[in-house]
Amino acid sequence: MAGRLHWPAVFAGLVLSALVFPLLMIVLLGYGSLEQDSDSIGWKGIDGVLLMVFAATFAHALLIGLPAFLWLRRIGRLSAARLAVAGFVAGGLLVGALGWPWRGGISGSSYSSSWHGRFVEMNRDGVPTVYGWLSWLESVILYGIVGIASALAFWYGWRYFQRRADARPSRVSDPRRHALPQQ
């Protein structure tokens, strides 16, 4: 990208990207409780939860997304598509690492869970089953998709504010504009 990087535009992009996940939570939680009263279990304490989710997603965007953006910009490869790929990786990275099913479980330990309406065995004798791996992969992909949405929110927010800042007249005056006419 040519030109100077305007940090307020970057900050605006970070805020927009951090709002994606909390807004998805509102939509998904709110959809099920629209017909219920405001004291329904889905809305109690939601403001505190949303604030914590926003803080966590902002930190995630700041610590993982911003370095990816700056690196892509520095090497001259910054585009919406490349930033979306970086968003997928950033979104799925933490969930993939923390939810990794192969942890050398205790021999003889097993657990089962509901997966898409079916009760299936996720771990048998300390070893993940196919369903355990599919559940993990599904989580990584889901959070990766949220990462794509967040990266694109950053991209379009940053581009909008960057262009507005670039369009403003410079405060440094052009010396040719104020020069006396040549005689």
Query: Is the residue at 151 inside a domain?
Result: yes
Distance of CA 97 to the CA centre of its chain: 16
CA distance 6 to 158: 9
Say what the pLDDT of residue 183 is.
58
pLDDT above 90 covers a percentage of the chain that reads 60
Q: Which of 112-116, 161-165, 173-177 has the lowest mean pLDDT?
A: 173-177
Please name the residue ranges forming H helices in the chain: 7-32, 46-60, 66-74, 80-98, 130-167
Q: Structural domain of residue 76, as residue ranges?
A: 7-166
Q: Could you report how far apart the first and last alpha carbons of the chain are, in Å?
A: 42
Average pLDDT of every residue of the chain:
86
Q: What confidence score (pLDDT) does residue 38 get? A: 53
Per mean pLDDT, which range of 53-57, 62-66, 106-110, 118-122 is the poorest?
A: 106-110
pLDDT at 30 over 90: no
* Max avg pLDDT among 29-33, 103-107, 157-161, 162-166: 157-161
Q: Which of 9-23, 130-144, 161-175 has the lowest mean pLDDT?
A: 161-175
Cβ neighbour number for residue 29 with a 10 Å cutoff: 16
Whether 101 maps to a domain, the answer reads yes
Q: Is residue 57 part of a domain?
A: yes
Residue with tokens 């329904």: 40
Contact 28/46 with Cβ under 8 angstroms?
no
Strand order in the sheet with 127-128: 111-115, 118-124, 127-128
Could you tell me the CA-to-CA distances from 146 to 49, 139, 153 in Å, in that order? 18, 11, 10
CB 94 within 8 A of CB 144: no
Question: Structurally, how many domains does the chain consist of?
Answer: 1
Does 161 or 32 have the greater pLDDT score? 161
Within-domain flag for 128: yes
